[in-house]
Chain A
């Protein structure tokens, strides 16, 4: 109970942003590949996650767009028009 009071006074008394985060999610484990830690700082992890995902998304998007542009294959639109007219009997 004393612990809870201390946490409550800490949260409502000081209202520091990182403290609130620590209260809400005290421990975040990192599983697989690396050894699990007792405590992981949440905010840097969120930052790195967002930056990494945005970066790799941009990289892959640009790469695919450039590839599609550079290696594009011209197809005759007449082929599609003829296929549309034909019966789709597979």
Chain B
């Protein structure tokens, strides 16, 4: 029963309510980094891990401090602070401990701290009354959904580099059009789970 619920959350957040193609959040990073497959994969890995850890931290602070004190209206500010602080700390630690990983993924960390999806995941899981495991599953599913979107988009854009596109549509405009088409395709997932 419990696993069925977790599986539902992961499927729902990665496919049905995919953050990029259904809710249209986090588009700045999506368009900025999806030009090459290598950066897209690096970004997806960093993004998913940061999102899971920051959602866990936010859940702990929200449920053990903010709910008992009845100051839940502060959640936006506090979640932004948690994400920014965690990202900054991991940036510093990663630079010292594994410089190789830092030079591969460090540039994405600065971008992540101001991303909409990273903030939306703790906010939604607070609003939906998810438990700790459920909110981590939600973060994992959202990360998988984002990775899926990035990989689909990067593979299409690498092919688009060689395609014969009219001059006004070269670069970002054709990427927007392609995103709209994929978003249309993603509406096909909407009947996957009956609620």
| Chain A residues with a Cβ under 8 A of chain B | 30-34, 40, 45, 48-49, 52-53, 56-57, 60, 63-64, 67-68, 71-73
Q: Flag whether B88 is at the interface (Cβ < 8 A).
A: yes
Can you show 29 pairs from A to B with CB atoms below 8 A apart?
A30-B70, A30-B73, A31-B73, A32-B72, A32-B73, A32-B127, A33-B75, A33-B126, A34-B67, A34-B70, A34-B72, A40-B70, A45-B70, A48-B69, A48-B70, A49-B71, A52-B65, A52-B74, A53-B74, A56-B61, A60-B81, A63-B85, A63-B89, A64-B85, A64-B89, A64-B92, A67-B92, A71-B93, A71-B97
Q: Which residues of A contact B73 (CB under 8 A)?
A: 30-32
Specify the main secondary structure of chain A where it touches its partner: helix
| Chain B residues with a Cβ under 8 A of chain A | 61-62, 65-67, 69-75, 77-78, 81, 85, 88-89, 92-93, 95-97, 99, 126-127, 129
- Rounded to whole angstroms, the CA-CA distance of A72 and B71 in the bound complex is 36
Task: Please determine whether B126 and A60 come into contact, CB atoms closer than 8 angstroms.
Answer: no
Specify the main secondary structure of chain B where it touches its partner: helix
Query: Which of A31, A33, A64, A72 lies at the interface centre, i.e. has the most chain B CB atoms within 10 A of its CB?
Result: A33
A42 to chain B, nearest CB (A): 11
A82 to chain B, nearest CB (A): 19
Q: Which residues of B contact A33 (CB under 8 A)?
A: 62, 66-67, 72, 75, 126-127, 129
Task: Please determine whether A67 and B70 come into contact, CB atoms closer than 8 angstroms.
Answer: no
Which of B81, B88, B99, B126 makes the CB contact (< 8 A) with A32?
A: B126
- Rounded to whole angstroms, the CA-CA distance of A17 and B64 in the bound complex is 31
